[in-house]
Amino acid sequence: MEDEVDRLVAAWRRERPDLDVEPLEVLSRVSRLARHLDRARRLAFAEHHLEPWEFDVLTALRRAGTPYQLSPGQLLTQTLVTSGTMTNRIDRLTKKGLVERLPDPNDRRGVLVRLTDEGRDRADQALAGLLDQERAILAELSRTQRGELAGLLRRLTGPFDNIPG
Amino acid sequence: MEDEVDRLVAAWRRERPDLDVEPLEVLSRVSRLARHLDRARRLAFAEHHLEPWEFDVLTALRRAGTPYQLSPGQLLTQTLVTSGTMTNRIDRLTKKGLVERLPDPNDRRGVLVRLTDEGRDRADQALAGLLDQERAILAELSRTQRGELAGLLRRLTGPFDNIPG
DNA sequence: GTCGATTGTCTTGACATCGAGAGATCCCTC
DNA sequence: GAGGGATCTCTCGATGTCAAGACAATCGAC
């Protein structure tokens, strides 16, 4: 099946035959697919009355395991947002009763963000919904192909994730 | 090489052993890689004093071929943003002298956005820079692997691009 | 021709994000 | 134990985006 990137690449080859645009075959598809996924995620979460950014924060805490608490700084590195953004997110999640701020007993500069019981339930429900949606998208591929795809992508993400940046 | 998604998946398997989180192996990598690419693109464009959104609009016009003009509506569908956003972008690009608005001779409701000579040059330069950067990222893979990866990704993007949504 | 629905663009208000920097606390060296 | 740099969180202003709706022109049916 042809996709938008095939058309994009064909247009570039017509307009700039001097350039090698092969990299776009991979990376433009990654960017565009990510955009489509964002929309799909937003829809999936709407059923649970959660925004994508709320899901990101709540699930980071959920993954941490009991007692479901992390510092704002740890949340920063997991969600790849700036500190100002994280302060704002914690404020709003606190107002909604999904997380609470506690003083860090070991560092008086610090704060711990803890998931409330409701926050934990909402995160669990939204995750299940997201996985259902993602399974539907991936049904295009066989199990073997999904494994290959994951492996190839890991080759590309590895350098970013391990050399900090 | 292990990446952040390996750690994320391992955490979910520990916390939610009842769930099948295999879809994350593929789609979380897509989302995270797209985020890293956004940062890399921003850096690459900074050398040419262009923002990513400026690049998106200018190159859509560049790809259209001479006389390098499209309606705002056509630009919407190519860049996946809303109409309000596109109006704002065209305004700012016009102020910078990279595009100009012309009345559509065939539809008095309509407008045509045309690339200026400077806009065309800037788009061409930025594209070359972007391709260099992308080639470096993709050097992790062989030519054959890049082809496989592109093919697998096309299977996933195809449904989004062809069934409108 | 005329009316209603549709199309194409722009306007407005709300909102989430970023970047830079402030203030408080911690840690290491002397 | 005192000083200076590093770390942690929050504040503030600017900005880009979205969603909903306004307005004008077009198209189709009668």
User: pLDDT tens-digit profile of A90-134?
Assistant: 999 999 999 999 999 989 889 999 999 999 999 999 999 999 999
| Whether pLDDT at B164 is above 80 | no
Burial of residue B124 (CB within 10 Å: 0-12, 13-18, 19+) is middle
Single out the residue of B131, B114, B118 nearest to residue B61, CA to CA.
B114
Contact list, A65 vs chain B (CB under 8 Å): 11, 14-15
Query: Dihedral, CA atoms, B48, B49, B52, B58, nearest 10 degrees?
Result: -70
Does pLDDT of B160 surpass 90?
A: no
- pLDDT at residue A165, rounded to an integer: 44
Pick B92 or B40 by higher pLDDT. Answer: B92
Which amino acid is located at B44 in the chain?
Answer: A
* Residue in A closest to B133 by C-alpha: A23
When computed from its CA atoms, the radius of gyration of chain B, rounded to whole angstroms, is: 20
**Strand C proximal to B71 Cβ, under 7 A:** yes
Distance CA B49, CA B71 (A): 25
Using CB atoms within 10 Å of the CB of residue A30, give its burial: 0 to 12 exposed, 13 to 18 middle, 19+ buried.
buried
pLDDT category of residue B67 using cuts at 50, 70 and 90: very high
Q: Which among A56, A133, A138, A152 is the top mutation candidate for probing chain B, defined by the most B β-carbons within 10 Å of its own β-carbon?
A: A152
Which among A2, A20, A159 has the least Cβ separation from residue B140? A159
Given this model, what pLDDT does residue B53 score?
Answer: 92
Q: Is the CB of A135 under 7 A from strand D?
A: no
Fold of A50-160: Arc Repressor Mutant, subunit A (1.10.10)
Give pLDDT, residue B165. 43
Q: Which CATH architecture has domain B51-152?
A: Orthogonal Bundle (1.10)
> How far apart (Å, rounded) are the C-alpha atoms in residues A152 and B160?
22
What kind and span of H or E run contains A69?
Answer: strand A69-70
pLDDT score of A163: 60
